Amino acid sequence: MKEFILNDDYIELVRLIKLLGIAETGGHAKIMIDQGEVRLNGQTELRKRAKLRNGDEIEISGRKIRILSSGNSAS
């Protein structure tokens, strides 16, 4: 499972998908979410701007990503 270190209180789902390169553009990320390809904490997530916070886990395109705050990284 990949970890994403969060430097703010949250990151929006669509932004994370684009930032990680899972989607080529923000529009592509929105389509992936609209088509039900994203799961947040085990549930299908259809909110493009869902706020991901410390401890959240997303699954998309066979990838699992855990969100950690910068204070909780396992360094």
Domains of the chain and CATH, by start: 2-72 (3.10.290.10)
* Percent of the chain residues past pLDDT 70, beyond the cut: 95
State the pLDDT at residue 72. 62
SS3 47: coil
State the pLDDT at residue 8. 92
pLDDT at 51 over 80: yes
SS3 60: strand
| Structure-token pair, residue 36 | 């039900």
Closest to 45 measured CA to CA, from 65, 71, 70: 65
Global confidence as pTM: 0.86
> Residue 71: pLDDT band by 50, 70, 90 thresholds?
confident
Distance in angstroms between the alpha carbons of the first and the last residue of the chain: 15
Mean pLDDT computed over every residue of the chain: 92
Q: Once rounded to an integer, what is the mean pLDDT over residues 12-41?
A: 95
